[in-house]
Amino acid sequence: MSSAGVLEVRGPFPSEEIQAYSDLHPKPRNVVYSYGTAGFRTLGSVLDSVLFRVGILAALRSKKLDGKTIGVMITASHNPEEDNGVKLVDPRGEMLEAAWEHHATLLANSPNEEFVSTLYDFIRDTRIDMSKPSRVVYARDTRPSGESLVKAFEDGLKSLGAEGRDAAINTKGTKEEYGEDSEDGYYQKMSEAFRKLVSGRPRIPPLVIDCANGVGAHAAQKLAQYLGETLPFVLHNTDTVTPGGLNHECGADYVKTSQRPPPSLIGVLQKGQRACSLDGDADRLMYYFIDERNYFLMLDGDKIATLVASFIVDLVRLAGLSDSVRVGVVQTAYANGASTKYLSDRLPVKCTPTGVKHLHHAAEQFNIGVYFEANGHGTPSTPAQSTALKHLRNLTELVNQTVGDALSDMLLVEVVLAHKAYSAAEWNSLYTDLPNRLVKVHVPNRHAFKTEDAERRLVTPQGLQAKIEELVNRYESGRSFVRPSGTEDVVRVYAEAGLRSQADELAYRVGGLVFDEAGGDPSRRPKEFY
Ligand code: G16
């Protein structure tokens, strides 16, 4: 060591073990990986080396944080079954620190023959003390590729002698302790808080849950046992073993994007009955119902944010805390314009780029920050000082204040509906959504699309933003934006307008502009759908 800095890695660096394990998980030469909106995500068949290296990275992140437990989730969430992915979670449940996303990308792309030396340089430059302990908890969803990817990941842990396990322990013994550090302890805590919050309220009618044929099916079945008749569930799409079933014609993304219920629920849903869809890893939540005229109506993340924020504002006011507790809402560009207008008239509202990692940080600027993406990701973040209130205290027991958990979000919605005595139709009538449409455009290089102003404007390709604006101006209440997805190899186009036909037409036209600009395969040009 010199005064200029650390020249060598502190503590043991087991280079031979790492090399031997790394040889079992070679990186394919022609694939470039990037840490996107929610970690690495691509075809499960090309992720073996990434999982091995993420095992190493997670162990190192833990060492860097003095042995605090790091979380790793192996999932591709809403993506089709052949995809898979992995994301890292920091010790308090928040998404991996942004600077480490860059380290993750660097290690994932290092050629096989350079991996050990790249790793050595990284550990040295980041000043990680290798003699520190490392602890990692991990889980996977039900995708067929998950099992072998877990093995690759465990090899990464083993190569550094790190400890891996499957329960959360960071807060144990601290004032932030969440309860029994087991899966059952989690259900117990949530269901007890739920019972307290709805006690004295009328009996809650059964809730239909579409589990997307994913891991949420297992969780919902267990939670149902704890809740019993307090909140009866009717579970659908719970088949996690039939190949191809995951997210197929079901789940939150299907409902939000196609703006219709999963075909398996048609004929099942009764008029006015509350239903909701989870996604493949059960962190998105989409509510909906069929109204008296037989129309399908969606209660998306924006409607959830509105419902929850208004409830929290009421509680804060009733407790006489309005002057000291600042409640705010965080949205993205995808938020329906009608929701932004409704909320901005009542509360401070912020807009961030897509990805819960961005929303979460913005929500922390408020004393109580409610953040939901329109696609159903989100949660309220309630701080310790609000525990002066009984309900707010119970709320903090109920909600997962760190990364999304659709089941705890669902219980929260049910609490608010019970307190406000709202039916699905009454909730829906808080404001009327502007008709909107989301389109995926397949282009040769989505990275050519760069955005600014919380993704509301394109910077490149040059000149395209002006053409979009020129189009948008022709539609009443028109709004549209374009951004590259961080989880799929597509560019996304969002459009809304005063009339359904106009929103569809605008989305199609902007999609066409994007496609022509990017020069894609003509067979994949967006089709008219209006
Ligand atoms: C992930 C993120 C979400 C984001 C979504 C779509 O969700 O956690 O915050 O909204 O990707 O991102 P993009 O439009 O960049 O593809 P999930 O459910 O896929 O993990």
* pLDDT, tens digit (0-9, with 9 covering 90-100), for 326-338: 999 999 999 999 9
Residues 399 and 379: beta-carbon distance below 8 Å: yes
386: pLDDT strictly greater than 70: no
The pLDDT confidence band at residue 2, using thresholds 50, 70 and 90, is: very low
Distance CA 188, CA 178 (A): 11
Model pLDDT for residues 225-238, shown as the tens digit of each residue: 999 999 999 999 99
- Distances from the Cα of 148 to the Cαs of 25, 45, 218, in angstroms? 11, 10, 21
Residue at which a domain ends, from 428, 447, 464: 428
389: pLDDT strictly greater than 90: no
Catalytic residues: 77
- What is the arithmetic mean of pLDDT over 77-100? 91
193: pLDDT strictly greater than 80: yes
239: pLDDT strictly greater than 50: yes
Domain enclosing residue 508, as ranges: 436-529
Specify the pLDDT at position 164. 86
Q: For 388, how many CA atoms within 13 A lie in the half-sphere containing its CB?
A: 10
CATH of the domain at 15: 3.40.120.10
Q: Residue 493's beta-bridge partner residues?
A: 439, 482
Question: Ligand 1: which atom is nearest the Cα of residue 484?
Answer: 15
Residue 124 in any domain: the answer is yes
Q: Residue 207's beta-bridge partner residues?
A: 233
Residues 191 and 262 in one domain: yes
Residue 177 in any domain: the answer is no
Residues 217 and 160 in one domain: no
Specify the pLDDT at position 170. 47
Which of 84, 279, 354 should be mutated for ligand 1, with most atoms under 8 A from CB? 354
pTM of the complete model: 0.90
Model pLDDT for residues 400-420, shown as the tens digit of each residue: 665 578 999 999 999 999 999
- What is the arithmetic mean of pLDDT over 85-98? 90
Residue 326 in any domain: the answer is yes
Specify the pLDDT at position 192. 93
Q: Residue 331's beta-bridge partner residues?
A: 351
Residues 369 and 510 in one domain: no
423: pLDDT strictly greater than 80: yes
Q: Which helix (H) or strand (E) holds 139?
A: strand 135-140
3: pLDDT strictly greater than 80: no
Specify the pLDDT at position 177. 58
318: pLDDT strictly greater than 90: no
Distance CA 166, CA 168 (A): 7
Residues 354 and 255 in one domain: no
Residues 11 and 129 in one domain: yes
Residues 287 and 356 in one domain: no
The pLDDT confidence band at residue 520, using thresholds 50, 70 and 90, is: confident
Residues 479 and 457: beta-carbon distance below 8 Å: no
Model pLDDT for residues 246-305, shown as the tens digit of each residue: 999 999 999 999 999 999 999 999 999 999 999 999 999 999 999 999 999 999 999 999
- Alpha carbon of 105 to ligand 1 centroid (Å): 18
If you take atom 3 of ligand 1, which residue's CA is the nearest one? 355
Residues 423 and 469 in one domain: no
- Alpha carbon of 483 to ligand 1 centroid (Å): 12
Model pLDDT for residues 325-384, shown as the tens digit of each residue: 899 999 999 999 999 999 999 999 999 999 988 998 899 899 899 999 999 999 887 654
Model pLDDT for residues 10-33, shown as the tens digit of each residue: 999 999 999 999 999 999 999 999
CATH of the domain at 327: 3.40.120
Residue 307 in any domain: the answer is yes
Residues 487 and 389 in one domain: no
Question: Ligand 1: which atom is nearest the Cα of residue 486?
Answer: 15
- Alpha carbon of 359 to ligand 1 centroid (Å): 12
Q: Which helix (H) or strand (E) holds 190?
A: helix 183-198
Specify the pLDDT at position 399. 79
- What is the arithmetic mean of pLDDT over 51-65? 98
Specify the pLDDT at position 178. 55
- Give the CA-trace dihedral at 162, 168, 169, 173, to 10 degrees: 180
Q: Which helix (H) or strand (E) holds 482?
A: strand 479-484
Residues 217 and 314 in one domain: no
Residue 171 in any domain: the answer is no
The pLDDT confidence band at residue 169, using thresholds 50, 70 and 90, is: very low
Average pLDDT, the chain: 91
CATH of the domain at 506: 3.30.310.50
Task: Specify the amino acid at residue 514.
Answer: V
462: pLDDT strictly greater than 90: yes
The pLDDT confidence band at residue 388, using thresholds 50, 70 and 90, is: very low
Residues 152 and 193 in one domain: no
Q: What percent of the chain is modeled with pLDDT above 90?
A: 81
Specify the pLDDT at position 198. 94
Which strands form 296-299's sheet, in the order they lie side by side? 233-236, 207-210, 275-277, 286-290, 296-299
Q: Which residues are annotated as a binding site?
A: 77, 279, 281, 283, 373-375, 483-487, 492
If you take atom 14 of ligand 1, which residue's CA is the nearest one? 485
Model pLDDT for residues 136-150, shown as the tens digit of each residue: 999 999 899 999 999
Residues 19 and 137 in one domain: yes
Residue 178 in any domain: the answer is no
Residues 340 and 404 in one domain: yes
- Alpha carbon of 38 to ligand 1 centroid (Å): 6
Specify the pLDDT at position 387. 41
Structural domain total, the chain: 4
Residue at which a domain ends, from 268, 299, 330: 299
Q: Which residues line ligand 1 (CB under 6 A)?
A: 37-38, 77-78, 279, 283-284, 354-356, 373, 375, 377, 485-488, 492
Specify the pLDDT at position 168. 47
- Distances from the Cα of 314 to the Cαs of 126, 346, 410, in angstroms? 46, 12, 20
Residue at which a domain ends, from 257, 272, 299: 299
- What is the arithmetic mean of pLDDT over 455-483? 97
Specify the pLDDT at position 211. 98
